[in-house]
Amino acid sequence: MRYDANLSILFTELPLRRRAEAARAAGFTAVEYWWPFDTAAPGDREVDEFVRSVADAGVTLAGLNFFADDLAAGHRGIVSWIGREKELADSVDIAVGIAGQLGCRTFNALYGNRIDGQEPAAQDEHALSTLDSAAAAAAGIGARLAIEPLSGADRYPLRTAADALAVLDKLGRDNVTLLFDLYHLGTNGDDLDAVIERHTPRIGHVQVADVPGRQEPGTGTLDITGYLAKLASAGYDGYVGLEYRPSGRTEDSFGWLEGQR
């Protein structure tokens, strides 16, 4: 497996722009981020500073989220949020530009919560339109989108792998894939073995954290190393993003990798 450090949740004791260097010092050659800016359309200087922080660290950018609004406030993306398509399009353009410089070929497009006053069916139709546009932009650099089921967000409609795969089926684009997050799917009680057995070819990215607690593997009950072995046997050869909250110092949370970085 190829592992990358999610620097929106790891090394948070450091400013965001210094985390890529810390990840490289810890032995990682690849990193990923949630949307690394406060707005959907940051200025050129802010974008350039972010690109330099990754490039200067000598790591690969393995994954990048599109703008998802305020995660701390409970927002979970704007793909299905009618009326915010310009913000999404702006962030897609910026993300594609960043990826073109740093080699990233996977974008996480968080679907978004159900919104008061918007019909679920209308939101879903809107999501298909915005995903189609984003997928076309990603295809221009040979990249793909990953659609992620989430836990802990009651108004987020994609809870299982089947929920996300239904969106993929409706969209019908080869470069739109499933984001297989073991923590979220495990928390929601999805059948991880069945997903691996039946749908590994449709998985575009993998993320891990243990259940419960969302900490490093070995702190909970999920057989993460076992599931990763099954994924590898089923043909998955992409990155595995470490998207967990360390139980202690970030540097002390990597023992389970046993030299695999």
Annotated catalytic residues are 148, 243
Residue with tokens 């969106």: 167
30-33 and 239-242 strand pairing: unpaired
DSSP letters, 116-150, are: TTS-HHHHHHHHHHHHHHHHHHHHTTT-EEEE---
Q: What CA–CA distance (Å, rounded) separates 13 from 11?
A: 5
DSSP letter string over 36-70?
-SSSSS--HHHHHHHHHHHHHHT-EEEEEEPP---
Say whether 79 sits in a helix, a strand or coil.
Answer: coil
Torsion 117-123-125-129 (CA) sign: positive
CB within 8 Å of 81: residues ≥ 6 apart: 69, 112, 113, 115, 118, 123, 126
Sheet strands (E) in 164-226: 176-181, 203-208
Cα angle at 16 between 71 and 252, to 5 degrees?
95
Q: Tell me the three state secondary structure of residue 90.
A: helix
Query: Amino acid letter at 243?
Result: E
